[in-house]
């Protein structure tokens, strides 16, 4: 509640600041977590790449604007948006009722499932019983964290540990500080299972889809009241979907079953 109150205050305070109209804008500053492959990640050159990066750059091209990507830890993306550090958040952010209290969202772009990953020899099968006495790692500020903390409360015997970056979660799984990670499925594949160390790990349990806590729709976050800019971005998204551009980007990064483009 404390976090939500501070976000609401920031939202109200932010509305008193000078706002450039969407017609006057020549660049879009977009906040993203840069360590969340294949959605957003850094190349050896330092350049950002990934599914969301490609979509964001294509939107900027449609709007004849320059994309300026701002790297930020996932948990600080909404506060950064409200503080006007950037104009949008595009970082595989799930649309939730809690987030909609403080920010707005564009039309949904795509849907992804979430699933637990554990070592093949861990004895964890995804059931609550197999997780008793175990620790589940999650990325801080995500719907996976919200889901995990509601499903595995103190009475469950399962400990939930949050991390600022997904790469930290993966490293702690490898060294045994956590026993499982609740991932967005494509991030699990790209970040761990398809790596050399990934041979020792596997998905456990069933994919989590259409859960009331964990909505699967991903969209771009925008400040409340930015209707003109939101309309322009929605128009660009609609064109990119109709032209098959987002579908082509998806084929570049995912297996067919890992992601679904919202029509």
What is the structure's pLDDT at 6? 45
User: Angle formed by the axes of helices 227-242 and 51-62, to 10°?
Assistant: 110
CA distance 254 to 206: 19
Q: What is the pLDDT along the chain (263 residues), one digit of tens a residue?
A: 334 444 444 444 444 444 566 778 899 999 999 999 999 999 999 999 999 999 999 999 999 999 999 999 999 999 999 999 999 999 999 999 999 999 999 999 999 999 999 999 999 999 999 999 999 999 999 999 999 999 999 899 999 999 999 999 999 999 999 999 999 999 999 999 999 999 999 999 999 987 888 888 999 999 999 999 999 999 999 999 999 999 999 999 998 778 999 98
Centre a 10 Å sphere on the Cβ of residue 20 and count the other Cβ atoms it contains: 10
Cβ neighbours of residue 44 under 8 Å, at least 6 residues apart? none
CA distance 62 to 73: 27
CB 221 within 8 A of CB 87: no
CB 210 within 8 A of CB 88: no
pTM for the model? 0.82
CB 220 within 8 A of CB 89: yes
Domains and CATH numbers, the chain: 27-111+216-258 (3.40.190.10), 113-208 (3.40.190.10)
């Amino acid at each position: 509640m404390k976090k939500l109150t501070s976000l609401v205050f920031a939202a109200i305070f932010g509305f008193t600041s000078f706002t450039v109209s969407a017609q006057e804008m020549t660049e879009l500053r977009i906040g993203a977590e840069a360590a969340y492959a294949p959605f957003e990640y850094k190349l050896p050159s330092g350049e950002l790449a990934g599914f969301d990066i490609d979509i964001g750059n294509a939107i900027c091209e449609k709007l004849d604007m320059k994309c300026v990507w701002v790297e930020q830890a996932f948990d600080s993306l909404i506060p950064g948006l409200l503080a006007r550090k950037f104009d949008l958040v595009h970082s595989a952010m799930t649309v939730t009722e809690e987030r909609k209290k403080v920010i707005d969202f564009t039309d949904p772009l795509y849907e992804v499932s979430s699933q637990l990953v554990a070592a093949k020899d861990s004895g964890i099968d995804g059931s609550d019983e197999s997780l008793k006495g175990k620790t589940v790692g999650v990325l801080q500020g995500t719907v996976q964290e919200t889901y995990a903390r509601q499903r595995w409360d103190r009475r469950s015997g399962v400990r939930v540990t949050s991390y600022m970056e997904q790469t930290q979660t993966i490293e702690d799984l490898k060294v045994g500080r956590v026993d499982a990670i609740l991932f967005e499925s494509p991030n699990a594949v790209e970040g761990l299972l398809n790596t050399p160390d990934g041979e020792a790990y596997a998905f456990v349990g069933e994919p989590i889809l259409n859960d009331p806590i964990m909505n699967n729709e991903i969209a771009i976050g925008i400040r409340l009241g930015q209707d003109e800019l939101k309309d322009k971005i929605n128009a660009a998204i609609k064109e990119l979907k109709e032209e098959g551009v987002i579908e082509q980007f998806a084929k570049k990064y995912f297996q067919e079953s890992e992601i679904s483009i919202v029509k």
